[in-house]
Amino acid sequence: MLEPGWLGGAYLWIKALHVIFVIFWMAGMFILPRYFAYHSECAAGSAEDRLWQVRESRLLRIIINPSMAFAWLFGLALAFHLGFADNGWLHLKLALVLALSGYHGLLARWRKDFVKGVNTRSSRFYRIANEIPTLAVIPIVILVIVKPF
């Protein structure tokens, strides 16, 4: 394991990049289920359906996927900088970020259902699913700022 503090003067730059990419990732994770809510209201195979498929694909490919990768990259650099011992808050934060990453994968799978024309979920379902990231973001921010344990 790397010694705590290995980032040196780059620490604040890495932290800034981490926050920037987390913001991009979360923005995408909040908007994609909203896209699905609107998409679920149009007929499969219609011109509108195809437009939503393009929008959703681009959002995932251009914003959400790369942002998650960079958020993880910079976040892990910060975690190694801090060290994992005596940072219980960090362990819980990582578990919550893993859960968010799983949700990200679930969103990608739901998009594939639309592409296949087999979506069975309602607009209401996606509006509720849209709130899931909030359940992780609130405790993550509290853990990072307050470091309660």
18 is in an annotated binding site: yes
Amino acid at 126: Y
Runs of H (alpha helix) within the chain: 11-39, 47-58, 65-82, 88-116, 123-129, 132-146
Q: Give the separation between CA 34 and CA 130, rounded to whole angstroms.
A: 6
For residues 109 and 36, give the distance between their C-alpha atoms in angstroms, rounded to a whole number: 12
Return binding residues for heme. 18, 93
Return binding residues. 18, 93
